[in-house]
Amino acid sequence: MTDADALAIKAYLFSLAPVGTPKQPATFGFPYNQRWLMSFWSLFFNPDVRFQPNSGRSPEWNRGAYLAEAMAHCGECHTPRNPLFALDNRRKFSGAVQAGWRAYNVTSDKDTGVGAWSADELKSFLGAGHATGHGSAGGPMGEAVDLSLRYLTPGDVSAIVAYLVTVPPVSTTDLPAVKATPAPASHREGVTAAVDPRGKEVYEGACVGCHGWTGVSPVLDHATLTGVRAVNDPTAINVVQAVLGGVTLKDDDRASMPAFGNAYSDVEVAAVANYVTARFGSSASSVTAANVADMRRQVGR
């Protein structure tokens, strides 16, 4: 076992609930609340097999496959689930919503995945939580970087990338291609009148100082919104969660966005999310106050 493996295991153990934590009441309905059915579920979806190297691939590729599949469990967030909550590996790594955040498509699809990213960009995002032109990690992915991935050796990060770029492309049909061009420099241009004007008011009061009117940050590369998948997501899930809870990367103390969940109402958060996607993304989202309230509940805010 390498030091990186030991650190990954340590990060997982620290994430477990401490001894003595009160049991939470079950919220699953029938038949999902029947634990005895897990024996049958495991028979179909959890075979008792160890990781097997692929003799037709390089040692680096096999190392990356081992880290991504057996150690990091990337699919637990990035792979959709079937009706029985098992990973649907026919759509492996094509994206899913977990813990109130959207884990985006990381297959080799060029439009909705990471197929258009360079190897260096992927290494930077995995190892440091940021890739210029693609944004920064937040939510559960930010935690994965802070607690585990940033401790990997450069060789291990390269191995994961070598594996990741070979994952077959799967298109995420509800995601448009990312808009890579900045918004107009003038705040009077770039957004249709259909967007709630409160969104612009909130953005001007709390966001423009770091993110700018064009989406290219005048302060810090980490704050640039141009080219970021989250602002090109019609659901705007991660935009809302970033506004509510902020984003912080331990790898760089400067890369910190404060939480605004207590400062703005659900209506205002929805308005600014729709404004941001309309101004910097491919199309405007249609987030409602009810959507924001639901997202608050999902993460306990």
Same domain, 202 and 94: no
Taking only Cα atoms into account, the Rg of the chain, rounded to an integer number of angstroms, comes to 20
Q: Confirm if 247 and 129 have CB atoms less than 8 A apart.
A: no
d(CA 46, CA 281): 39
Q: Which residue, 119, 142, 164, sits at the end of a domain?
A: 164
Residue 44 lies in a domain: no
Q: For residue 46, tell me if it sits in a domain.
A: no
Phi, psi of 232 (to 5 degrees): -110, 15
In a domain, 45, yes or no: no
Range of the structural domain that residue 256 is part of: 197-299
Does residue 14 lie in a domain region?
yes
Q: Check whether residue 156 and residue 12 sit in a common domain.
A: yes
Helix (H) or strand (E) holding 223: none
Report if residue 180 sits inside a domain.
no
* Res 14 pLDDT > 60: no
pLDDT of 105 above 60:
yes
Q: State residue 254's pLDDT score.
A: 53
Question: Do both 23 and 132 map to the same domain?
Answer: yes
What average pLDDT is seen over the chain? 89
Residues 159 and 205 in one domain: no
Nearest to 137 by CA among 151, 126, 123: 126
In a domain, 201, yes or no: yes
Give the tokens for residue 206.
């709390």
Residue 195 confidence (pLDDT) = 77
Query: Residue 256: pLDDT band by 50, 70, 90 thresholds?
Result: confident
Paired sense of beta strands 135-136 and 130-131, if any: antiparallel
Please determine, for residue 114, whether its predicted confidence score (pLDDT) is greater than 80: yes
Quick one: 113 and 224 in the same domain? no
In this structure, are residues 263 and 208 in contact, taking their beta carbons and an 8 Å threshold? no
User: Is 209 within a domain?
Assistant: yes
Is the pTM here over 0.75, yes or no?
yes
Query: What CATH number has the domain bearing residue 253?
Result: 1.10.760.10
**Which pLDDT tens digit goes with each residue over 18-46?**
656 666 676 778 888 888 888 888 888 88
Residue 47 inside a domain? The answer is no
Of 116, 149, 164, the position where a domain reaches its end is 164
Q: Are 284 and 274 in contact (CB under 8 A)?
A: yes
Query: Any idea how long the chain is?
Result: 301
The angle that helices 266-280 and 237-245 make with each other, rounded to 10 degrees, is 130
- Which amino acid is residue 138, in one-letter code? G
Q: What is the C-alpha to C-alpha distance for residues 265 and 258, in angstroms, rounded to an integer?
A: 16
Q: How far, CA to CA in Å, does 46 sit from each of 49, 93, 117?
A: 9, 18, 32
The yes-or-no verdict on residue 210 having pLDDT over 80 is yes
Q: Are residues 243 and 126 in the same domain?
A: no
How many structural domains does the chain have? 2
